[in-house]
Amino acid sequence: PLSGVSLSAQPPGGQVALGDHLVLSCTVATGTGPLSFSWHREGLGAPLGTGPCLDLPHVGDNDSGHYQCRVSDGDSVAESPPLNVTVLGERDPLAGGDP
């Protein structure tokens, strides 16, 4: 059976600036056979993607919320705890950092 499904975010904590790049990764502690992944956001019916990583290259205002990864091995399904993604306001161009 599947167990130990967890989510991690880059940047850590799921706090990302508007327009920045966010990557969510789903890991499974135990599970055998071919695993299938699907990504879900609270309130949305359709999956956001499949595969162990969800890549959001340009985060927008409407990308904040609770994300979950669902993993299936064909026999059973396990879900990660929800990860709250927070989109911070637009970057201050005077603050420096990446252009």
pLDDT tens-digit map of 32-88: 889 999 999 998 889 999 999 999 999 998 999 999 999 999 999 999 999 999 999
Beta carbons of 66 and 84 less than 8 angstroms apart: yes
Among 6, 2, 52, smallest CA distance to 30 is for: 2
Q: Decide which of 2.60.40.10, 3.40.50.1100, 1.10.3660.10, 3.30.110.40 is the CATH code for 3-88.
A: 2.60.40.10
Cα–Cα distances (Å) from 62 to 8, 39, 59, 95, in that order, read 20, 16, 8, 24
Buried b (16+ CB within 10 A) or exposed e, 62-78: ebbbebbbbbbbeeeeb
Cβ neighbourhood burial of 10 (10 Å; 0-12, 13-18, 19+): middle
Q: Please report which confidence band the pLDDT of residue 91 belongs to, taking 50, 70 and 90 as the band edges.
A: low
**For the segment 2-32, what is each residue's pLDDT rounded down to a tens digit?**
999 999 999 999 999 999 999 999 999 998 8
What pTM was computed for the model?
Answer: 0.85
- Before 52, cis peptide (omega within 30)? no
Give the whole-angstrom CA distance, residue 89 versus residue 27.
29
Domain boundaries, the chain: 3-88
